[in-house]
Amino acid sequence: MRPTFHHIVETMLGDHPARVGFLDESILCIHVAAGAELEEYVSYAVIAQPQGGAPFTHDAVSEEFIHEMTYGGTKLRINRRGAGIWISSGESIEWFQAPAPGVTKVGEGIEFRMMSQPADRYYGLGEAGETFEKSGYKHTLWNTDDPHHHPRQNFYAQIPWLVRVRESDGRCVGLFLDNPGRSMFDIRVGDELRVSTEKGDAILWVLMADSIAELLERWTHLTGRMERPPMWALGYHQCRWSYFPESRVRGIAAEFRARKIPCDALYLDIDYMDGYRVFTWDAERFPNPAGLIGDLARDGFRTVTIVDPGVKIDPEYSVFAEFSAHRNWFCVDGEKGTPFQGQVWPGEVYYPDFTRADVRARWGEMQAETLLDLGVAGIWNDMNEPANFDPPKTFPSHVVQGDFGLKRPHERIHQIYGHTMAQTSYEGIRAARPDARPFVITRSAYAGVQRFSMVWTGDNQSIWSNMAFDLALNLNMGLSGIAFVGCDIGGFTCDPTPELYARWIEWGVFQPFVRTHAAHDTPNQEPWAFGPEVESIARTMIEWRMRLLPYIYTVFAEAAATGAPVNRALMYEYPDDRDARYVADQFMLGQDMMIAPVLTPRTARRMVYFPGTAWRQLWTEAHFPQGWHIVEAPLGRPPVFFRAGAVVPMHPVRQHTSDGDVAEWTLAVFAVGELSGVLVEDDGATQQWRSGVEAITRFGGVWNHHGMVLQIGPREGSFVTTRKRWRIEMHGFEDRPHHIQVGGKPVAFTWENRVAIILVEDHIEGVEVVAEA
Ligand code: MIG
């Protein structure tokens, strides 16, 4: 869209035409021309519209500051001749200081140079960079499909969004360079940050916030949030390149059920297609896809099919024929004026131009006719960097796309190919199933992709270092506005050792997205492929995933409402904690769970940092006070903790998320402190929650040396839950409590393994539980 603003001021920054726009008091945009005029600004990321309004002033104050603008409490000053920019609020808050020359032309692009403090910390950038915290490096953003990539190279989904956390006061500035070409973020020196485009105008959004949580709320206000996903998307998924023919797929499904390992989704990779022709089926391998998908669905498995962009050049093939009949439905080779030809799995292909609404609409219909109408539940977009086996491994610069009538060379819009493809898949599902919740998985992405799709981290390797790296990627994706992320469990290329697979699934089940996937030339990688010991670990961990789904779903609902990550870096939840700021080998799932994976071989214990408060260990009931502690972590017993004071809703284990109604739910309460928790429920499948068909239950109370008082609040919203009673587990009494009352009346309870347990009827009005120590 074309972003709009409350106020726009046209000016010059040095020799460069520039424009400043205010979206609100905390979000503004500085657009600087690389050429003689400002380019037209069309954004694939920004969706926010200006709302409300605050007083605006604009003065030429002095010779030095040619402009001083205030919008509400925010002040922006520009020194024209020297091209300096300052943004501040109040007397003392300096958000952005770019003393002259703050803006300069570098090559064919524009560079911003801002002051920074050596201790400032940087996060975000999507999948860019080896380290969790980003300072010390120059990051060049250019999405690529390089099968031999390493962490310092370009990845599939790099987001030109950088978070700066200021050391002195914890205030945060987010910088979004809305440039779908190549972007650079240079943080090599401590006192300066440089942000630049390789070519063309620089459009820099500056977002200001008092905390990282507030900043992400603003960032996802600007670029959108994910929607509540379907519940099945949060279960365990099994994938391989490729399960075929049909009998093998049925065999895998049968194994899951026979072995009682929960599973919600199976994936069909490229070999389901006829010669890799998108929107076709291989008639020998899959003679009756609707029959197969229907049988799988009856057994609780959703089917997800891969959809690649390249359309095989084959006049006999209807998708190709139809697209060819429309002018510019394929991306155009600007030199020849004909569709651009690349090479991917089907051989020679043309690539659809997903920036065009007519292409998106027709592609979406084809997706419905050949996949969704047969029962396919989700769409998996791959190869959308876009990948090309021919040099330069993507589109050459002379490829052009419709792009709202803008004809810019490919290198200027490279980053949005995957984004617009994910948009196409999403819109296609919305159109075909208006009341359903789309599930799209994409490899490439641009800022704002969370509106359409989750993002998986692509072809990782079955090696220990890649496992640790994936964890940090997840955290920075979360800090980039993309909450729904995950890596291929066990690693994609190479074969994991049994120990590596076990360690991977030990934390992998706490990711937002939980899928095992492996490449075509690797051994089997199902949870049972590594022998009985690893199978049992995998089952136990996937069972924990299933048990925790009410809690996890609530975290997703929060993420959908506020833009908070699902997997959170410790620094997100504990921004004032000095020890937490660089931790990237531990993470939080929501605010009540923390996971400290074992990321090295033959490791029986590890150092864990416990931020803020005390934490209780999942397996042992051991209690760790705030600080650094060594935690025993034998294989099969990963360090997983619940926050003291957390009230965590859980479910019994089911083999898949639609496996019958559940009458008895568990509420786990963890000593000590103020108690808090929340449960968001809805049908987990449709859009009806938007009109109030949801149920929200809040938990509160306190646990101290007298005992525990737990309030289960009244249920808000009109969703009718299947729950009949709560099994309340109280974790943390030293000894058997003296007595327990529910609604003022004494009740019987059990005392097992130092956990006190009662059963309480579920009341819509809520209830109070008192346990005396
Ligand atoms: O060039 O479809 O990242 O998950 O299995 C490889 C085959 C193409 C790359 C994806 C991977 C998928 C594979 N694809």
Q: Dump pLDDT digits (tens) for 504-520.
A: 999 999 999 999 999 99
pLDDT at position 730:
98
Q: Is the CB of 443 under 6 A from ligand 1?
A: yes
The answer on pLDDT for 405 being more than 90 is no
441 vs 443: CA distance, rounded Å: 7
- Ordered strands of the 74-79 beta sheet: 56-59, 67-71, 74-79, 84-89, 93-98
- Give the helix ranges, DSSP H, for 200-328: 212-223, 246-259, 289-298, 318-324
| 164-168, 265-269, 674-678, 748-752: range with lowest mean pLDDT | 164-168
Q: How confident is the model at residue 146 (pLDDT cuts 50, 70, 90)?
A: confident
**What pLDDT does residue 3 have?**
96
The answer to whether 165 touches 123, Cβ cutoff 8 Å, is yes
Neighbours of 375 (CB within 10 A): 17
Q: Is 63's pLDDT higher than 90?
A: no
Residue with tokens 């139809």: 322
Q: Is the CB of 459 under 6 A from ligand 1?
A: yes
**Mean local confidence (pLDDT), 468-494:** 97
Q: According to DSSP H, which parts of 282-394 are helical?
A: 289-298, 318-324, 357-370
Atom index in ligand 1 nearest the CA of residue 520 equals: 5
**Which residue, judged by its Cα, is nearest atom 5 of ligand 1?**
241
For the cut 90, the answer to whether the pLDDT of residue 498 exceeds it is yes
Average pLDDT over every residue of 549-572: 98
The atom of ligand 1 lying closest to the CA of 488 is 4
How many angstroms separate the alpha carbon of residue 77 from the centre of ligand 1?
49
Residue 156 near ligand 1, beta carbon < 6 Å: no
Residue 154 — very low, low, confident or very high, per pLDDT cuts 50/70/90? confident
**Nearest CA owner, ligand 1 atom 6:** 383
In this prediction, residue 497 has a pLDDT band, given cuts at 50, 70 and 90, of: very high
Q: What is the dihedral of CA 560, 566, 570, 574, to 10 degrees?
A: 30
Å from CA of 522 to ligand 1 middle: 13
Give me the pLDDT at residue 168, please: 85
Q: How large a percentage of the chain has pLDDT more than 90?
A: 93
- pLDDT on residue 79: 87
Ligand 1 centroid from CA 449, angstroms: 20
Q: Is the C-beta atom of 487 inside 6 A of ligand 1?
A: no
Asked if residue 34 has its Cβ within 6 Å of ligand 1, the reply is no
Ligand 1 binding pocket mutation candidate from 243, 266, 269 (most atoms within 8 A of CB): 269
* Mean pLDDT along residues 550-560: 98
Band (110; pLDDT cuts 50, 70, 90) = very high
Q: Please indicate whether residue 155, judged by its CB atom, sits closer than 6 Å to ligand 1.
A: no
Report the residue among 268, 394, 459, 513 best suited for mutation to probe ligand 1: largest number of ligand atoms under 8 A from its CB: 459
Query: Which H/E stretch holds residue 71?
Result: strand 67-71
Q: In this predicted structure, which of 81-95, 318-332, 457-471, 664-678 has the lowest mean pLDDT? A: 81-95
* Average pLDDT value for the chain: 96
Pair type for strands 514-516 and 56-59: unpaired
Whether the pLDDT of residue 1 is over 80: the answer is yes
Query: Is 64's pLDDT higher than 90?
Result: no
For the cut 70, the answer to whether the pLDDT of residue 36 exceeds it is yes
Question: What's the CA-to-centroid distance between 149 and ligand 1, angstroms?
Answer: 14
Using the atom order of ligand 1, give the atom closest to the CA of residue 382.
10
Kindly state if the Cβ of 270 falls inside 6 Å of ligand 1: yes
Residues 6+ apart with CB under 8 A from 365: 428, 431
Q: Tell me: the pLDDT tens digits for 374-394?
A: 999 999 999 999 999 999 999
Answer yes or no: are the C-beta atoms of 677 and 696 closer than 8 Å. no
Both tokens assigned to 184: 């650079």
- State pLDDT tens for residues 700-742: 999 999 999 999 999 999 999 999 999 999 999 999 999 999 9
Q: Is residue 586 within 8 Å of residue 594, measured between CB atoms?
A: yes
Give the atom of ligand 1 at the shortest distance from the alpha carbon of 308: 2
For residue 572, the SS3 value is helix
* Contact criterion met (CB below 8 Å) for 207 and 178: no
Residue 336 has pLDDT above 80, yes or no: yes
Atom of ligand 1 nearest to the CA of 517: 4
Region for 465 from its dihedrals, namely left if φ exceeds 0, alpha if ψ lies in -120 to 50, beta otherwise:
alpha
Atom of ligand 1 nearest to the CA of 387: 1
pLDDT for 479:
98
Q: Would the CA dihedral through 280, 283, 284, 288 be positive or negative?
A: positive
Is the CB of residue 346 below 6 angstroms from any atom belonging to ligand 1? no
Q: Which of 241, 278, 525 to mutate for ligand 1's pocket (most ligand atoms within 8 Å of CB)?
A: 241
State in Å: Cα 242 to ligand 1 middle.
10
pLDDT the model gives residue 661:
86
- Burial label, 560 (beta-carbon count in 10 A; 0-12, 13-18, 19+): buried
Minimum-distance ligand 1 atom for the alpha carbon of 240: 5
Contact 388, 347 (CB under 8 A): no
Identify the band that residue 17 occupies on the pLDDT scale cut at 50, 70 and 90.
very high
| pLDDT of 288 above 80 | yes
Q: Is the shortest distance between the CB of 109 and ligand 1 below 6 Å?
A: no
Q: Ligand 1 center to residue 357 CA distance, Å?
A: 27
- Beta strand 399-400 pairing with 332-333: antiparallel
Structure-derived torsion over alpha carbons of residues 544, 545, 547, 553, reported in degrees to the nearest 10: 150
Q: Whose CA is nearest to atom 13 of ligand 1?
A: 241
Supply the residues annotated as catalytic: 382, 385, 459
Q: pLDDT band at residue 406, thresholds of 50, 70 and 90? A: low
Q: How far is the CA of 466 from the centre of ligand 1 (A)?
A: 17
Single out the residue of 213, 217, 160, 225 nearest to residue 484, CA to CA. Answer: 225
Q: Report pLDDT for 616.
A: 97
Give, using CA atoms, the residue closest to atom 1 of ligand 1. Answer: 383
Cβ of 491 closer than 6 Å to ligand 1, yes or no, is no
- pLDDT score for 18: 96
The answer to whether 563 touches 598, Cβ cutoff 8 Å, is: no
Question: Percent of the chain, pLDDT > 70?
Answer: 99
Interatomic CA distance for residues 752 and 758, integer angstroms: 11
**Ligand 1 pocket member 145 (CB < 6 A):** no
Indicate whether 35 pLDDT > 70. yes
Per-residue confidence (pLDDT) for residue 341, from 0 to 100: 98
pLDDT > 70? residue 536: yes
Q: Give yes or no for residue 62 having a pLDDT over 80.
A: no
Mean of pLDDT values over 629-649: 98
Q: 203: which strand partners?
A: 31
- Identify the pLDDT of residue 230: 98
Name the residue at shortest CA distance from atom 12 of ligand 1. Answer: 241
pLDDT confidence band for 483 (50 / 70 / 90): very high
269 lines ligand 1 (CB under 6 A): yes
Query: What's the sign of the alpha-carbon dihedral 733, 739, 743, 744?
Result: negative
